């Protein structure tokens, strides 16, 4: 498909998914490569990736809904805090958040089944973003030596479980426009993109007849 015909938001969204995939894989690499460090330090390195993943998902949602005029405001375009972006998008389009799916392909059709459990929900992403902030700041002088309520260090196990929830959310997912007429069917990795991210843009109601494919780096 000629470059001029491609949905620029879908292309940019695919590029963000590539970074997301790399950071999710990076969490496992960090754990494997920091065996000589204290476990809490390995966990902190993982939590840095989790915080960046929260921000990338929020920015990705902003990109995916670029057809909403308000998303082009200077306020939203310059916003980087994941929780603030999600709260503002919620006001513009309550169904803005990605939903995990499982796609089954057959000649001439695609069967799409929604996944309803074990993925990172919108509320969990906001909670995790705040949790990351707590782990990535050492604290104030008045709290650092608090004897009755010492700061609890992060754990590798909890970081890995968060990473898995990101993967479950985004491996295959669907994002619907505010009009429910345009749909992103997105994959973190797909053979048609040589293992890179892959985004198909569909128009309702004839999804199989109006697919526009956008690969990362296009």
pLDDT tens readout for residues 149-196: 667 889 999 999 999 999 999 999 999 999 999 999 999 999 989 999
pLDDT at residue 215 greater than cutoff 80: no
Structure tokens that stand for 5 in this block: 């015909």
Domain span at residue 79 reads 3-215
* Structure-model confidence comparison of residues 67 and 142, the more confident one: 67
pLDDT of 203: 86
Number of folded domains that form the chain: 1
In angstroms, the CA 145 to CA 164 distance is: 33
pLDDT of 110: 82
pLDDT at residue 90 greater than cutoff 80: yes
Task: Tell me the three state secondary structure of residue 141.
Answer: helix
Task: Tell me the three state secondary structure of residue 87.
Answer: helix
In angstroms, the CA 148 to CA 107 distance is: 64
Find the mean pLDDT for residues 190-211. 79
pLDDT at residue 142 greater than cutoff 80: no
> Nearest to residue 100, comparing CAs of 160, 163, 165?
165
CA distances from 128 to 22, 50, 119 (A): 19, 8, 13
């Amino acid at each position: 498909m000629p470059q001029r015909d491609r949905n620029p938001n879908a292309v940019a969204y695919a590029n963000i998914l590539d970074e997301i995939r790399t950071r999710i894989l990076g969490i496992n690499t960090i754990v494997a490569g920091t065996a000589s460090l204290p476990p809490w330090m390995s966990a902190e390195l993982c939590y840095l990736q989790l915080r960046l993943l929260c921000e990338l998902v929020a920015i990705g949602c902003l990109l995916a809904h670029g057809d909403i005029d308000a998303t082009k405001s200077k306020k939203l375009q310059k916003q980087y805090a994941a929780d603030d972006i999600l709260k503002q998008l919620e006001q513009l389009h309550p169904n803005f958040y990605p939903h995990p799916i499982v796609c089954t392909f057959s000649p001439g059709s695609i069967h799409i089944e929604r996944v309803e459990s074990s993925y990172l929900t919108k509320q969990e992403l906001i909670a995790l973003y705040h949790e990351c902030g707590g782990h990535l700041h050492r604290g104030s002088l008045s709290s650092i030596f608090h004897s009755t309520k010492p700061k609890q260090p992060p754990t590798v196990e909890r970081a890995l479980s968060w990473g898995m929830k990101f993967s479950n959310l985004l491996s295959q997912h669907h994002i619907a426009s505010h009009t429910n007429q345009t749909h992103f069917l997105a994959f973190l990795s797909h053979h048609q993109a040589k293992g890179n991210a892959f985004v198909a843009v569909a128009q309702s109601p004839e999804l199989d007849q109006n697919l526009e494919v956008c690969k990362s780096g296009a």
